[in-house]
Amino acid sequence: MTNITEVGNNKGGPGKTSVTVNLACALARQGKRVLTIDMDPQGNLTGRMRARFDPETTLTVSEVIDAATPGAALQAMVPCDLPAEYAGLISVICAQRDLVNRANEFHIPGSAARLRESLTGSVDGFDVVLIDTPPTLGLLQQMALVAANDVLIVVQPEKDAMDGLADLAEFVAANARKLGNPDLGILGIVVSMVRPIGLHANRTAELRESYGDMVWKPAIPDRTAIKEAHEAEGGAVPVEQKGSVGREIAALYDELAIRYLKETEVA
């Protein structure tokens, strides 16, 4: 059975897209077929995945949502073009800035369920679907929550991102039933962009004290070498190909992928 996970935080910048991309790659290295969905109008996931996107012909998540018809998402899936042997296991549903138009359509009956409708009958061939979301509790976020089986929250160990974590966790607890997805819950918390400073060590300890085993190990460190390589390559080279530091980061994501598969019971 396909497991659909929303990757989120009600705060921009904690590393949601990086975690989505690298977790997808790690799951593919485990032999899993992965669909990534870009639900952010900025389209960063689309670029980072090197999605084979033609603005003239490729359907995007905006059209998928608008269709709200079982099977509609199939026509929007495109291959990723990452230079890796496992790239064929990863597909992408892309986003453009016009996705922001969908964010204002609360007036449409069943508006929050439209992504779920279009994914129905579309994702059966995948083991995992990862939905990268914008930092909001608005309609785009709610569409992802309605479609998902669970939520993976990405947090940088700093106050604003931790507040965003709490906002999203509380929103899910308070509104899952109202959104028509009563079994929705928090799958786990990934601590990202960790620097070797006292503040981050203390905040990470606070997270583990507050949320216990929901905070997954290992945490993902912030590495300047990886950032520089992403900038130079447009963020479109798998992390394990970025030298010894990249291989170190990839190994951490491999551990997270194993944890993901265990928690979701994806065979």
For position 224, what pLDDT does the model report? 62
Q: Find the range with the poorest average confidence among 1-15, 121-135, 239-253.
A: 239-253
Q: In whole angstroms, give the CA distance from residue 262 to residue 265.
A: 5
Q: Find the range with the poorest average confidence among 86-90, 143-147, 243-247.
A: 243-247
Q: What is the CATH number of the domain that holds 200?
A: 3.40.50.300
For position 231, what pLDDT does the model report? 54
Q: For residue 252, which phi and psi values (nearest 5 degrees)? A: -65, -40
* Residue 230 confidence (pLDDT) above 80: no
The total number of structural domains that make up the chain: 1
Task: Report the chain's mean pLDDT, rounded to a whole number.
Answer: 93
* Residue 232 confidence (pLDDT) above 70: no
What is the per-residue burial (b if ≥16 Cβ within 10 Å, else e) of 196-232? eeeebeebbeebbeebeebbbeebbbbbeebeebbee
* Residue 237 confidence (pLDDT) above 70: no
Binning pLDDT at 50, 70 and 90, where does residue 229 land?
A: low
Give the domain range for residue 123: 3-264
